[in-house]
């Protein structure tokens, strides 16, 4: 749990996914099958965001993951498994961390998500949404392209996004 609390700051997606996966296995071993399924779905969302799966980290981890998933499937109805799985595609990395920690996601509301970004990051997010490249943003704001790169990476990380298109969609949702 402490590792995930640190991940709220550092946001290392591999550590996040592995930690949530482990928490899922622990929940399954303690007969907390719905919690295990929920956490496994959250871990899967993080893996998907990374473009990989746990099996990329070796056969032992994959075997533990498969065993835990089988245990959960043996104790929950197919209908309940489907209900829990239906939530998984909506999880961002921050949502997954929040789910594992048992708290509401900090990015859960638009106001909270906006407050995650600095005023400069919000300004850059707006320019990304307008379709400007990092170089064009740098010229517009009279800052270095490297500085813009850093801001865009921070925005992606803070909002749990993987693409500029997601930033643009987020900005569109923020506009009244």
Q: What is the pLDDT of residue 88?
A: 56
- pLDDT tens, residue by residue, 3-53: 777 776 776 888 889 999 999 999 899 888 888 888 898 888 888 888 889
Q: What is the pLDDT of residue 139?
A: 96
Q: In degrees, to the nearest 5, what angle opens at C-alpha 58 toward C-alphas 43 and 8?
A: 30
- pLDDT tens, residue by residue, 136-170: 999 999 999 999 999 999 888 878 777 888 888 88
- Tell me which fold the domain 110-174 belongs to: Arc Repressor Mutant, subunit A (1.10.10)
Q: What is the pLDDT of residue 90?
A: 61
- What are the residue boundaries of the structural domains of the chain, listed by start? 2-101, 110-174
With 90 as the cut, is the pLDDT of residue 126 above it?
yes
- pLDDT tens, residue by residue, 51-102: 889 999 899 999 999 999 999 999 988 888 887 777 555 667 777 777 777 6
Distance between CA atoms of residues 168 and 124, nearest Å: 11
Beta-carbon contacts of 22 under 8 Å, excluding residues fewer than 6 positions away, are none
Q: What is the pLDDT of residue 91?
A: 67
pTM (two decimals): 0.56
Helix ranges, the chain (H): 2-10, 13-29, 33-50, 59-75, 78-87, 93-101, 110-116, 119-129, 134-141, 145-159, 164-174
């Amino acid at each position: 749990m402490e590792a995930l609390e640190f991940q709220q700051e550092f946001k290392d997606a591999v550590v996040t996914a592995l930690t949530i996966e482990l928490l899922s296995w622990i929940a399954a071993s303690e007969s907390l099958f719905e919690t295990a399924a929920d956490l496994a779905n959250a871990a899967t969302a993080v893996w998907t965001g990374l473009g990989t799966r746990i099996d990329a980290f070796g056969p032992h981890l994959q075997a533990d993951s498969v065993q835990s998933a089988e245990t959960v499937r043996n104790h929950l109805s197919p209908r309940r498994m489907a209900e829990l799985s239906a939530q998984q595609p909506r999880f961002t990395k921050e949502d997954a961390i929040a789910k594992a920690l048992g708290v509401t996601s900090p990015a859960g509301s638009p106001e909270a998500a906006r407050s995650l970004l600095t005023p400069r990051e919000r300004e850059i997010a707006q320019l990304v949404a307008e379709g400007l490249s990092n170089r064009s943003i740098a010229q517009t704001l009279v800052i270095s392209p490297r500085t813009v790169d850093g801001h865009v990476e921070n925005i992606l990380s803070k909002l749990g996004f993987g693409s500029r298109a997601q930033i643009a969609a987020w900005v569109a949702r923020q506009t009244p």
